[in-house]
């Protein structure tokens, strides 16, 4: 049985996120021109494409950080309610948006940690202030998640005292501490030096192996190929090609994808 508010009653084959024919413009600039994609439960979906193709916009729309003008977004089968049309379309129910957004956690390229808070405080912040969870219980969980990403010894350190790779792992622990139904990553390794990139990729791989639902925007074709169940190639606001990584990377069909891969995949 499917109900709106109960996680336990949602069936395993119900996608966490489903986007249907989404259109999004910034003023006159049409960025998404009718995109449909799903984040199936327990699966990793990667989004690839050139800079400016609309990947971040799509992820931000999925997370309800951006409005869109046409198309549907469903969370566990529950459609987002809209009021108004086209450029005037807005979510009709703020409570619905908040409830859904707290079930999705985003990890950004630039970590976005609070500089004035220790790592432990950073990880505890949203569960305590946004979800109203008990401080002590959250602290226990925060320490577990920091251990999990390999920086359990950094609880009392400030972000500026850590490497980029450690900061990004703290940001992942922070996302996990919300215990979301899906994790959304926007180029999580792009700001990192190659050797620090690997420590973050290792954490993301481990999360994939645990069967977490994830959408990952990445320029790292090796990671996308290794961990994805499904890869979507976005080109100028439309899905040009999508499929299993072995097909998409092994036997790309479209000329644009072939070109993109030859420019991005190291020989």
Name the residue among 223, 234, 227 with its Cα closest to residue 212.
227
- The correct pick among 45, 46, 53, 56 for binding Mg ion (CB under 5 A) is 56
| Cα–Cα distance measured from residue 16 to residue 38, given in angstroms and rounded to the nearest whole number | 8
> Does residue 31 contact residue 54 with C-beta atoms inside 8 Å?
yes
| Cα–Cα distance measured from residue 189 to residue 173, given in angstroms and rounded to the nearest whole number | 15
Contacting range for ligand ADP; rule: CB under 6 A; set: 49-57, 78-86, 139-147, 242-250: 49-57
Closest to ligand ADP by CB, 199 vs 242, is 242
84: partner contacted, choices ligand ADP, Mg ion, none (Cβ within 5-8 A by kind): none
Closest to ligand ADP by CB, 52 vs 84, is 52
The two structure tokens encoding residue 232: 């979507």
Does 110 sit near ligand ADP (CB under 6 A)?
no
Question: Closest residue to Mg ion, Cβ-based?
Answer: 56
Closest to Mg ion by CB, 123 vs 184, is 184
Q: Are strands 82-83 and 78-79 parallel, antiparallel or unpaired?
A: unpaired
Q: Is 16 helix (H, G, I), strand (E, B) or coil?
A: coil
227: partner contacted, choices ligand ADP, Mg ion, none (Cβ within 5-8 A by kind): none
Contacting range for ligand ADP; rule: CB under 6 A; set: 45-53, 78-86, 136-144, 172-180: 45-53
Contacting range for Mg ion; rule: CB under 5 A; set: 56-64, 68-76, 113-121, 241-249: 56-64
| Cα–Cα distance measured from residue 72 to residue 79, given in angstroms and rounded to the nearest whole number | 7
Does 264 sit near ligand ADP (CB under 6 A)?
no
Closest to ligand ADP by CB, 122 vs 218, is 218
Does 57 sit near Mg ion (CB under 5 A)?
no
Class of residue 22 by CB neighbours under 10 A (exposed 0-12, middle 13-18, buried 19+)? buried
- The correct pick among 23, 35, 37, 53 for binding ligand ADP (CB under 6 A) is 53
Name the residue among 42, 187, 20 with its Cα closest to residue 112.
187
- Residues in contact with Mg ion, shown as a per-residue x/- string from 172 to 211 under the rule CB under 5 A: ----------------------------------------
The two structure tokens encoding residue 175: 């996302």
Residue 191: phi, psi to the nearest 5?
Answer: -90, 5
The two structure tokens encoding residue 72: 């549907």
């Amino acid at each position: 049985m499917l109900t709106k508010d109960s996680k336990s009653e949602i069936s395993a084959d119900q996608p966490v996120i489903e986007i249907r024919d989404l259109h999004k413009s910034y003023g006159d600039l049409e960025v998404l021109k009718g995109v449909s994609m799903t984040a199936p439960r327990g699966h990793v979906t990667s989004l690839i494409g050139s800079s400016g193709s609309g990947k971040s916009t799509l992820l931000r729309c999925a997370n309800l950080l951006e409005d869109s003008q046409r198309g549907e977004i469903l969370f566990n089968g529950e459609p987002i309610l809209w009021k108004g049309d086209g450029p005037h379309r807005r979510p009709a129910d703020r409570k619905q948006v908040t409830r859904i957004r707290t079930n999705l956690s985003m990890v950004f390229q630039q970590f976005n940690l609070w500089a004035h808070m220790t790592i432990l405080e950073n990880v505890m912040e949203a569960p305590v202030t946004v979800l109203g969870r008990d401080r002590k219980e959250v602290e226990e969980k925060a320490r577990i998640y920091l251990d999990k990403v390999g920086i359990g010894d950094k609880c009392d350190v400030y972000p500026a005292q850590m490497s980029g790779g450690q900061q990004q792992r703290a940001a992942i622990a922070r996302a996990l501490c919300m215990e979301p139904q899906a994790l959304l990553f926007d180029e999580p390794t792009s700001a990192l030096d190659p050797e620090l990139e690997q420590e973050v990729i290792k954490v993301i791989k481990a999360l994939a192996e645990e069967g977490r639902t994830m959408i990952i925007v990445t320029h790292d074709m090796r990671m996308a190929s290794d961990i994805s169940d499904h890869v979507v190639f976005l080109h100028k606001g439309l899905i040009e090609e999508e499929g299993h990584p072995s097909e998409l990377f092994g036997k790309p069909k479209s000329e644009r994808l072939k070109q993109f891969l030859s420019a991005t995949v190291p020989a």
